[in-house]
Chains A and B, each alone.
Chain A
Amino acid sequence: MLDNRSAAPSWSGDADEFVRVEEVVKIFGDTVAVQSVNLSVRRHEVFALLGSSGCGKSTLLRMLAGFEEVTSGRIYLDNEDITALPPYRRPVNMMFQSYALFPHMTVEANVAFGLKQEGVPRNEIHERVFEALDLVQMAGFARRKPHQMSGGQQQRVALARSLVKRPKLLLLDEPMSALDKQIRQKTQIELAKILEQVGVTCIMVTHDQEEAMTMAHRLAVMTEGQIVQCGTPHDVYAFPNSRFVAGFIGSTNLFTGTIVVDEPDHVLIESAELTRPLYVNHGVSEPLGMEVHVSIRPENIRVLREQPEAESNWGHGMVSHVAWMGSYARYQVRLDAGQVIEANVPSLVLAQADAPGLDDEVYVAWSNDSATVLPS
């Protein structure tokens, strides 16, 4: 696989870097779909581009596949500049959102199509087609036509078709969006296992944060044609770098306040919405007196009947809504200043006799390491 050393890398990066997107811009008419995106994906990594519709993630994927020309910038794959290559010359295969299986061909012919274009000998085609179909457990469906199969089965065939050529890079465009919600989660795990088994480098596009977090090793959050944050699912969830990311990945409670104490190991933030200051046990780069935003995840907030003893990190309000979610209940608490904050209360706590109910006066509290200061 690694015999293409003729094109010397014009960049120096981390040794594992396999895909590099360098200052890529895409302009359609007078709209900027992608604006100067830089991206680096490692070998064998599953990388997710996450964002809502129209954020440019699909355009970026289509540029990687070669369906759209870049307006400026370069794309490297395995040390080779593929920016100008047409799609049929790229060692890249894509699984389409709608699967795009050829309706007039059988499953076997669909999977064999790519190998035929390469001029692979007939018996080898047969062997590799069934190897790929076995991988997705669809060998028994080889003679079916696409319209004779369920959505989940079509997806497996589409996956086999995009893996059979052993691409250097696999692209997945919203892989689960055409599936029913019930089988989606199961399929996500199966797909992740297959990708691991094959060891292919993969870039996927999704608007579903759960999907990205289930399947990807790393992800990039995109909005308005730009990447706003890139990291492991845990890092992005625990340390969002902006209000947008905090709200996009999971749900969160946001407070606006000013820094009143700025120490290397902690800061205190006064917020109009809270009677007590916010204590954050990490230093920030923003100066004293600066207005900042603080994010606290609902699962880090406790709902209490008694007033906490701590000097900071709590508020007072009234339960305005309780939604039962199964393993936990989502409480909405209206603070005295008017803001409604959300707290997830585990079922165990809820089962206790004195669990707070609707319209009860309560205190909400969180620990010193729960809050994250967002620079923007």
Chain B
Amino acid sequence: MKKILSSGLPGRRWLSIGPPFLWLALFLLLPFLLVLKISFAELKFGIPPYTPLAELKDQTVTLALSLRGYALLFTDSLYIATYLNSVKMAAVTTLCCALIGYPMAYYIARSHPSVRNLLLLGVILPFWTSLLLRVYAWVGILRNDGLLNNLLQWLGLISEPLEIYRTDLAVYIGLVYAYLPFFVLPLYATLVKLDIRLLEAAYDLGARPWRAFFSVTLPLSMPGVIAGAMLVFIPSVGEYVIPEMLGGANTLMMGRVMWTEFFNNADWPMAAAVTCVMVMMLLVPLVIFQYNQIRQLEQQRGKTQ
């Protein structure tokens, strides 16, 4: 039945898939191919600041692929350290978001429906202000003479101001703060759909609350955890604004390196190479995410049959 519908109406199918497909091809795939092209070019002074890949001269086409950027990336320890550090910071951020976000999502999902929307609104509310402004606010809080230090000193808990601003800790605080909603929302959506009777069945069969949580709620909410983790991890790796504004000079993150190469050194091919390697690295978790979603869909389909 499904086959007849989809094969019988190819026009309609193309109509629904076509526009987003075209959009992605035009504004995602094409720019990425341009970046990929630039990453194989040579640095040159002028406009554009890089050499063309293929040249037609004396009726011969010469194709020149420069691997300078990639060679530098994989040999210069600074770049390798930056990549590793970005991944580490994104991973720690994701873990912190999971530890803080899971109880939040659980509490919201289990709260009374009338309170639930209010709590959800609280999670979404920060999006009404620009991220830049909110990160600026964190500067004001974390600075040596900022709100936090003043408060702690006023309370007499510390005598010297804590060095948080311009450290990795400040970047972690900023990242967790900014990306927490992206973890909470998909997890909430999974938890709120979870059949409460499954939990009751676990209690009924003798499972204490914590055992019931670990053997029923947690495994059944894994799709939400994975979705949330991906939404936090992927943008965190390439984050620029937060490490730039809160991090110290030695906070190494890819976004900053890209910025430096592109704007300070005007080395477009190098910046492009940094970008391409990062995209490749992110493809791995993206594929896991996609696989997870497909599997979930298949399970749901199995359930309805």
Which residues from chain A sit less than 8 Å from chain B, CB to CB? Answer: 65-67, 86-88, 92-94, 96, 98, 100-104, 113-114, 117-118, 147-148, 161-162, 165
Contact = CB atoms under 8 A, between A and B. Distances in A.
B48 interface: no
A88 B208 contact: yes
A98 B204 contact: no
B200 A87 contact: yes
B210 to A, nearest CB: 11
A173 B228 CA distance: 36
Given A87-B204, A98-B195, A117-B211, A148 B302 contact: yes
Nearest to B205: A114
12 contacts: A65-B200, A66-B203, A88-B206, A93-B204, A94-B204, A100-B198, A101-B201, A117-B205, A117-B206, A117-B208, A117-B211, A148-B302
Interface of B: 195, 197-198, 200-208, 211-212, 215-216, 219-220, 299, 302-303, 305
A104 B211 contact: no
A88 B203 CA distance: 5
Nearest to B203: A87
Contacts of B215: 113
Contacts of B216: 102
B201 A100 contact: yes
Given A113-B207, A165-B205, A67 B200 contact: yes
B211 A96 contact: no
A97 to B, nearest CB: 8
B303 A100 contact: no
B197 A96 contact: yes
Given A147-B302, A147-B303, A161 B197 contact: no
A104 B221 CA distance: 11
Contacts of B202: 102, 113
Contacts of A92: 204
A217 to B, nearest CB: 24
A103 B220 contact: yes
Contact of A147 (B203, B205, B211, B299): B299
Contacts of A94: 201, 204
B207 A102 contact: no
